Amino acid sequence: MVEVVESDAPSPSELLAIQALVDAATAADHTSALSDDHRLALRRGDPAEGTRLVARDGREVVGFAQLLRGNDVRSLELVVDPDHRALVVDDALTEAALQRAAAWGPGRVRMLVAAVRSEDDARLARFGFEPERDVLQLRVPLPLHVEARWPAGVELRTFEPGVDEDAWLTVNNRAFATHPEQGGWVRATLDAHMAEPWFDPKGFLMAFDHQGLAGFCWTKIHADEGLGEIYVIGVDPGRQGLGLGRALVVAGLQHMAELDVPTGMLYVEGDNDAALGLYRSLGFTEHQRDRWYITEVAP
């Protein structure tokens, strides 16, 4: 019998059980069980940011959900223990989280389902969820055996903490102006990511031209998984289509290959034709498809 208990601010022992669950699901699925936004929010554990729900089977923690208030749309993520992958746990957590969201007042809730399965659309439709967008995880074997060809006048160096933050935020927010997660970053968002143990400025490539920062390729090494991720890549809209994006991808992958990382990886929106064309032409192929769902709730 699965029971879901709400816990705005989990106790230290609950947090340990939740972290063990997230780690187990991450290891079983070879992909992060929580997005970075949710992982950082869980660590902060701030009740003002949202709430956490824990599913138990007897005394055992078998599932976890986090519902964040967000700006205009609430965000829900679920993690289910790999040994208890019965849909009853997902359903119990989804139902409890949506009830909680409705109690906050009318609004929309967005949920990410990693490695979406063919039955998920119909299962989640029962909760009013509709597919909103797909995010693809692409991979490529390394090394690439392609040289980066830079547009004339472009100079490359790595990110300098304390110097480059404002320029990076400007170009990132221009490149991702319409993107729900990657657009609208503020200094605190960047600082939180730079404080992460994986952050390495040597893997954060910055391309400058005579006008200033033109584009960047921020990489993240997942050493345990043998993966090098192109974490964020962007070219200022005024300099797109000139070959800079291609050169930045190649340079980012070359950096990973120099660290003996065997596989390059990235996430891309399923409808981002410009980026998909670029990655496919470099040999990337689809490894996993994640799907965002959205629903409306009201008390």
Nearer to ligand COA, 189 or 240 (CB): 240
Closer to ligand COA by CB, 201 or 243: give it: 243
Nearer to ligand COA, 119 or 273 (CB): 273
Minimum CB–partner distance for residue 252 and ligand COA (Å): 11
Is residue 293 a contact partner of residue 171, using CB atoms and an 8 Å limit?
A: no
Residue 138 phi, psi dihedral angles, 5° rounding: -110, 150
Q: What is the per-residue binding string for ligand COA in 255-274, x denoting contact by CB under 6 A?
A: -----------x-x---xxx
- Tokens (6 digits) for 280: 């496919």
Q: What is the DSSP letter of 242?
A: S
* Interface mask toward ligand COA for 177-216; x: CB under 6 A: ----------------------------------------
Site string for ligand COA, 87-126 (x = CB under 6 A): ----------------------------------------
Determine which helix (DSSP H) or strand (DSSP E) holds 54, and give its type and residue range: strand 50-57
Considering the complex, what minimum distance in angstroms separates the CB of residue 270 from ligand COA? Answer: 11
What is the smallest separation between the CB atom of 240 and ligand COA, expressed in angstroms? 3
Distance separating alpha carbons of residues 159 and 84, to the nearest angstrom = 43
List the beta strands (DSSP E) in the chain: 2-7, 50-57, 60-68, 73-80, 107-113, 130-141, 155-158, 204-209, 212-222, 227-235, 263-269, 285-297
Please name the helix (run of DSSP H) or strand (run of DSSP E) that holds residue 289, with its range, or none.
strand 285-297
Beta strand 204-209 pairing with 60-68: unpaired
99 close to 89: Cβ distance less than 8 angstroms: no
Would you say 38 or 246 has its CB closer to ligand COA?
246
Question: Rounded to the nearest 5°, which phi and psi values hold at 189?
Answer: -65, -45
Q: Is 288 in the site for ligand COA (CB under 6 A)?
A: no
Size of the site for ligand COA (CB under 6 A): 21
Residue nearest to ligand COA (CB): 245
Interaction between residue 277 and ligand COA (CB under 6 A): yes
Q: Does 21 bind ligand COA (CB under 6 A)?
A: no
Query: Within positions 150 to 179, which residues make up the interface with ligand COA, using CB under 6 A?
Result: 175-176
What string of H, E and C letters represents the secondary structure of 200-236? Answer: CHHHEEEEEECCEEEEEEEEEEEHHHCEEEEEEEEEC
Q: Which of residues 226-255 bind ligand COA (CB under 6 A)?
A: 233-235, 240-246
Q: What whole-number distance in Å separates Cα of residue 280 and Cα of residue 267?
A: 13
| Closer CB to ligand COA, 64 or 216, in the complex | 216
Query: Under the rule (CB under 6 A), what is the footprint of ligand COA?
Result: 175-176, 233-235, 240-246, 266, 268, 272-275, 277-278, 281
